């Protein structure tokens, strides 16, 4: 006994297969608004950069931003923040892919998109529920037990084996091909089956409240102030013997981790893209003040990943430690000021959306 769906969709390459990314693929499939693949953007294959020409990656950016995830910043010491834990973003420097599969995030995105769902954790029910869903024409979202940073979209079954079809773009080779993964029940923690389409339980106002909450967390958890103190202690006025004993290679590795934390490049791009896509994918005509406010917020976020540097080597990882530290502290102070502006704009958006 087997069956499968024609799931000709790729997930955005801006992130791994997080819940927001996988859900966006399911959403555009159910809404029948996905792009025909394979396809090119300009001269190269589309890799899902969150532009409006690719609905999956555009909706991914919106879902990722509305749930608060793309407003997050890592701590400079690498410790996960409380807000990241709440959202489920277990990404890190060097691995941008966070699963984002907590109930807090999953329920919000389903509710924001306007779909009822069932969360099933009993593995003895997986096969029956998957067969029922696929036979009714609906993919199934699976939280993988074998990968702490990834979900999967089940698009078919063959006996006791679940099948996942999707397109993948290799940016280095500039190729786009359809791939297939197989899964068994013991490789899955939880499945989410999709029920009826309903009036959304969460609105743009709720999304901006989550954005506000995530931005506030960077101040409440003292990311900026602690970061400045840590950089000063390590590089400008080193007092910690452990860092004093670090060799040049270890120091350069630490510098690169700090600079990648600063640039936060993919989060910034996703947030920026969501703001640009909102007027194209959501009816906001009843809020005439909102478009200009979105532009203002976009102007704040767009330069963040380029504040003092766009790549870690431009930050000055080759500078003497004290010079590197001073430049880094200046960048952190600028980003902190920008987040204060972003917080103010998010609060204005909430007021407008409350009318």
Residue 211, domain extent: 204-353
Last residue within a domain, chosen from 162, 179, 197: 197
Within the chain, how many helices (H) and strands (E) appear? 13, 10
Residue 35 sits in the same domain as residue 164: yes
Task: Choose among 84, 80, 67: nearest CA to 21.
Answer: 67
Q: Is the CB of residue 46 less than 8 Å from the CB of residue 12?
A: no
Q: Give the Cα separation of 183 and 110 in Å (integer).
A: 24
Q: Which two tokens stand for residue 133?
A: 């869903």
Residue 92 sits in the same domain as residue 221: no
In this prediction, residues 285-292 reach a mean pLDDT of: 92
pLDDT score of 136 more than 70:
yes
Q: Give the Cα separation of 144 and 221 in Å (integer).
A: 30
**In the prediction, which pLDDT does 38 show?**
63
Last residue within a domain, chosen from 197, 213, 238: 197
pLDDT, tens digit (0-9, with 9 covering 90-100), for 165-223: 988 777 777 777 888 999 999 999 999 999 999 999 999 999 999 999 999 999 999 99
**In the prediction, which pLDDT does 21 show?**
95
Residue 131 sits in the same domain as residue 164: yes
Residue 26 sits in the same domain as residue 49: yes
**In the prediction, which pLDDT does 39 show?**
65
Residue 185 sits in the same domain as residue 219: no
Computed on alpha carbons and rounded to an integer, the radius of gyration of the chain in Å comes to: 21
**Domains of the chain: total:** 2
**In the prediction, which pLDDT does 305 show?**
52
pLDDT, tens digit (0-9, with 9 covering 90-100), for 265-282: 678 888 988 998 898 888
**Residue with the two structure tokens 């930050």:** 315
Residue 135 sits in the same domain as residue 20: yes
pLDDT score of 323 more than 60:
yes
Residue 188 sits in the same domain as residue 128: yes
Residue 115 sits in the same domain as residue 94: yes
Last residue within a domain, chosen from 129, 164, 197: 197
Residue 112 sits in the same domain as residue 18: yes
**In the prediction, which pLDDT does 56 show?**
93
């Amino acid at each position: 006994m087997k069956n499968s769906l024609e799931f000709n969709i790729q997930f955005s390459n801006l992130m791994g297969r997080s819940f927001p990314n996988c859900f966006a693929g399911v959403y555009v499939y159910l809404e029948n608004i996905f792009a025909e693949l394979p396809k090119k953007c300009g001269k190269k294959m589309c890799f899902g950069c969150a532009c409006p020409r690719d609905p999956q990656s555009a909706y991914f950016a919106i879902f990722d931003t509305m749930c608060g995830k793309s407003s997050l910043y890592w701590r400079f010491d690498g410790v996960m923040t409380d807000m990241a834990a709440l959202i489920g973003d277990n990404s890190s420097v060097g691995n941008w892919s966070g699963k984002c599969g907590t109930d807090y995030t999953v329920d919000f995105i389903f509710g924001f998109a306007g779909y009822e769902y069932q969360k099933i954790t009993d593995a003895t029910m997986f096969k029956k529920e998957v067969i029922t869903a696929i036979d009714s024409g609906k993919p199934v979202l699976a939280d993988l037990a074998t990968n702490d940073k990834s979900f999967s979209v089940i698009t078919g079954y063959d006996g006791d084996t679940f099948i996942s079809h999707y397109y993948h773009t290799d940016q280095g080779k500039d190729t786009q091909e359809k791939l297939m993964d197989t899964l068994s029940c013991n490789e899955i923690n939880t499945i989410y089956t999709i029920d009826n389409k309903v009036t959304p339980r969460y609105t743009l106002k709720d999304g901006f409240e989550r954005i506000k909450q995530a931005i506030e967390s960077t101040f409440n958890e003292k990311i900026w102030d602690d970061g400045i103190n840590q950089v000063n202690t390590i590089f400008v006025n080193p007092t910690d013997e452990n860092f004093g004993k670090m060799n040049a290679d270890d120091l350069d590795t630490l510098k690169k981790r700090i600079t990648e934390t600063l640039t936060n490049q993919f989060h910034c791009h996703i947030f920026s893209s969501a703001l640009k896509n909102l007027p194209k994918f959501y009816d906001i005509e009843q809020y005439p003040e909102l478009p200009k406010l979105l532009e203002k917020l976009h102007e704040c976020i767009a330069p963040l990943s380029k504040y003092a540097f766009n790549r870690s080597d431009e930050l000055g990882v080759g500078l003497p430690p004290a010079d590197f530290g001073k430049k880094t502290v200046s960048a952190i102070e600028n980003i902190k000021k920008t987040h204060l502006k972003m917080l103010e704009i998010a609060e204005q958006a909430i007021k407008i959306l409350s009318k």
